[in-house]
Each structure stands twice: as structure tokens, then as C-alpha cells.
Amino acid sequence: MRLSSLLTLACAITAFILSILCLLAGDRRTFLQDTDILTLNISRLGHGNLFDTSSGDSGLLSGLSSTIQQDINNVIGDAATDIATLLGLPDFFNVHATDYCQGTYSPNSTAQNARQNVTECSKSTLGFHFQPTEIVQQHLPAGITLGDIHWPSDITDAEHTIKVVSRIMVIFYIIGIVLSGVAMFTAAAGIFTNGRLSAFFNWLVDVLAFLTLGVASAVATAVAVIATNRINKYTDEIGIAATRGGKFLGITWAATALMLLASFVSIVQCCVGRRRPKRYGEKDGY
């Protein structure tokens, strides 16, 4: 038996499971919500310096009914108040590979260690890409526009880039999942087969799985970095913020590293081969 193939088998199985979790995380309200690519926090919308009513700019208030205007005008200087809720907006969006979820913070957005209360998720699709501009506009009350809340055009521009790279990411995740699944079978077969040829085939599958998962992980990291950098430029101005999903990035790069380890073990097997068993009566050195 080639016992070292047990290690490549364990790596392939684990990478297969982890990459599936990356692709399916968040497809339900209660499934791996903390494994998101990024979180967009709009609960502080309206607390930025662009909403200083002392300057005479009534942009946020001008399109609202007099009752809501008064409510917001009374609390716009209160750092503990959730203006997003008054506008009918969710507090946050958790962005996943194939969907997004939204909800509110409990007990409120300013509480220390506030808990996420996920209220709903979009339909999970392989062609998904996050469009915060469109989503926020749909949630705003009648008469309020994105211009009224000073929504940055940079975010809209970034959406077009993210749309393309998100689809590339999903494609490579699917290919990586398929290849890591194949790697499980080649590793299992490699336990019982002889010769370098089987080890070479194992290595070929393993390295292809490593490369595809590596591309998917790199693209996911790029999406998180681009989006958070673009959004956080406006944290002080309009009160929105984004954070990268550390758990998601950890899982996806762990899957990539496991396939790298599997490919390393396979190439060692290919180079070393299996020792020829001694024939009866044969001695070392002859």
C-alpha cells in the first residue's frame, strides 16, 4: 500500500468540503452567515459630516414627509440613533459568493458586540453579483433619491468591475470543486496502485485543483479588497462602512493550501516511486 496517498486523500476531501462551503455559504438565513466575503454596514448612514444640518443642506430631509423630516432632524445629531431604520433600510448586507443577506443589529448598531439579526436573503444564483446601489435605491422611501443621501458614484463604478470578477470567481470555484472531487478518487486509487504513472496522474489533478482554487481565492480576496477600499473612503462623509470576511478568506485559502500540500506529496511519490519488493533469497547489495 502507498500510505502517503492517505494524506493526499485527506487533503482532497477537506479541500472539497471547504470549497463547497465557500460557494454555498449564506444561501439560507441560518447557514454560515459569518462566512461572507464582506459586510456592508449602512446603519450609520446619515451620521457623516455631509449631513450637518447647520450648513443649511437639507438634502436628506427635503423629500420626506414633514413627520419623518422632524423625526430625523431631531435625531441626526444623536450618534446612537439608527437613521437607516427610519428610512426603511436594513442595517447591513452580508455579501456571499452566490447571494446576499440583510438584517438589523440587535439591540442596536452602536451597542458593543451587537448581534446580527438576519431577516432575509436573496435567491442564490451562480450568476450573482452584489449591487448595493440598486438595492439601497429600492429600499428608500418615495421621494428620496441616492443623491439625497450622497451615495458615492465610486461605489456604482466599482460594481461593474466586481460584476465581472465575481462571475470569474464562481466559475473557478466550480472547476476547483470538480477537480478536488476527482482528486479524492485518484488519491484513493493511488493507495493501491503501483508505479510512477499513477502518482503523476494524481499530481496533475492535484495541481490543477490547486491552481483553480488559488485563482478563485485570489479573485475573492480582490473583490473584498476593492469593495471595502472604495466604500470606506466615505465612512466619515456619509456613515457607511465595509469589512472583509476574514473567516471566508481563511477557509478559501485553507482549501487552496491543502491542494498545494496534496500536489507536493504526489510529486514526491512520482519522483521516488515505490520500492521493488525483494525476491525470495535476495540480499541487500546483490
Query: How far is 206 from 82, CA to CA, in rounded Å?
Result: 50
| 218 contacts: CB under 8 Å, gap ≥ 6 | none
Q: Is the pLDDT of residue 164 over 70?
A: yes
Q: Is the pLDDT of residue 177 over 90?
A: yes
Query: How far is 286 from 276, CA to CA, in rounded Å?
Result: 14
Domain boundaries, the chain: 4-272
Residue for grid cell 533469497: 281
Give the alpha-carbon dihedral of 171, 177, 180, 185, to 10 degrees. Answer: -120
Mean pLDDT throughout 187-198?
Answer: 77
Residue type, 238: I
Please answer whether residues 149 and 89 qualify as being in contact, where contact means their C-beta atoms are separated by less than 8 angstroms. no
pLDDT tens digits along 196-227? 777 788 889 999 999 999 999 999 998 888 88
Which band of pLDDT confidence, cut at 50, 70 and 90, is reported for residue 21?
very high
CA proximity to 98, closest of 73, 52, 71, 129: 129
Question: What pLDDT shows up at residue 67?
Answer: 45
Which band of pLDDT confidence, cut at 50, 70 and 90, is reported for residue 66?
very low
Question: What pLDDT shows up at residue 251?
Answer: 93
Which band of pLDDT confidence, cut at 50, 70 and 90, is reported for residue 75?
very low
Which band of pLDDT confidence, cut at 50, 70 and 90, is reported for residue 57?
very low
Strands 241-244 and 115-121: unpaired
Residue type, 135: I
pTM of the full predicted structure?
0.77
Question: What pLDDT shows up at residue 49?
Answer: 58
**How is 105-162 classified by DSSP, letter by letter?**
EES-TTSTTPEEEEEEEPPP-TT----HHHHHHHHSPTT--TTTTT--HHHHHHHHHH
**How is 209-252 classified by DSSP, letter by letter?**
HHHHHHHHHHHHHHHHHHHHHHHHTTHHHH--EEEE-HHHHHHH
Q: Is the pLDDT of residue 68 over 50?
A: no
Which band of pLDDT confidence, cut at 50, 70 and 90, is reported for residue 173?
very high
Please answer whether residues 242 and 226 qualify as being in contact, where contact means their C-beta atoms are separated by less than 8 angstroms. no
Question: What pLDDT shows up at residue 142?
Answer: 67
